[in-house]
A = this chain, B = another copy of it.
Amino acid sequence: MTPSDPRTAATRRALLDAATDALREVGYAGASAREIARRAGCNQALVFYHFDSVTGLLLAALDDVSERRLAEYRDTLAGARTLRELVDAAERVLAEDVDAGHVAVLTELLVAAASVPGLDVEVEARLAPWRALAQDAVARAFELVPLAGMVPPEEAAHVVVATLLGLELLAGAGDGLATTDRLFDRARTVAALLEPEPGPSAGPDRATEASRAPRPRTARP
């Protein structure tokens, strides 16, 4: 479906990346064809040639980011065996996304979906795999805590997704991001309380050393 001409692919790639950056830095309202093309270093008309419309490009950018990030999430979460490891994995991969602005792409389009006529179904469809992933993670966590079964995984997953998006939202204005770090520390504390002993066979704190290394933090422009 994608043409094999290398120049075409390069332009499309540049536009997709530029669209992501634009959504992160100037939001949906500021992500115009001209603004994106300027960032991509190409002409404004190419947006319409390759993606029909600005909205088409933005949705394609969301597809692009989702595909790559979902793979990363699935791999990382698959390796987690304890509640602690689950929290650590979530922190690692989520922090990466927040820093790179991948979450912002989703939130911006989600907000726009509430107003722009046909956009809601498109965004909802692209949100579905994330719901499924969250539900999977929640189901896994529920196997590990005594309270499991009190809350259906779909609803818990819905709240999890909502919370992550809300945190990203608050990070946009004000001090939000600073607290997100400490947040995961708290989550670990709570996890330690909820989690039953994983058995005395393994070392006492295997997951700790690897995951507690200070993560490099990229500043927002």
> A189 at the A/B interface (Cβ < 8 Å)?
yes
Residues of B within 8 Å of A154, CB to CB, are 179
Residues of B within 8 Å of A123, CB to CB, are 173-174
Residues of B within 8 Å of A145, CB to CB, are none
> A38 at the A/B interface (Cβ < 8 Å)?
no
Q: Does the CB pair A26–B150 fall under 8 Å?
A: no
Residues from 13 to 55 in A contacting B, C-beta threshold 8 Å: 25-30
Chain A interface size band reads 35 or more
Q: Does the CB pair B169–A165 fall under 8 Å?
A: yes
Residues of B within 8 Å of A165, CB to CB, are 165-166, 169-170
Residues of B within 8 Å of A155, CB to CB, are 179, 182-183, 186
How many of these chains are in the complex? 2
Q: Does the CB pair B150–A190 fall under 8 Å?
A: yes
Find the residue from A127, A165, A166, A186 having the highest chain B CB count within 10 A.
A166
A218 → chain B, closest Cβ, in Å?
16
**Given A150-B189, A151-B190, A162-B166, A120 contacting B183 (CB threshold 8 A):** no
List 5 tightest A-B contacts by C-beta distance, closest first. Answer: A166-B166, A114-B172, A27-B115, A162-B166, A113-B173
Residue positions of A touching B, CB distance < 8 A: 25-30, 104, 107-108, 110-116, 119-120, 123-124, 127, 147, 150-152, 154-155, 158-159, 161-167, 169-170, 172-174, 176, 179, 182-183, 186, 189-190, 193
Given contact pairs A113-B173, A154-B179, enumerate 9 new A-B contacts (beta carbons under 8 Å). A29-B29, A108-B111, A123-B174, A124-B173, A150-B190, A155-B186, A159-B167, A161-B166, A162-B167
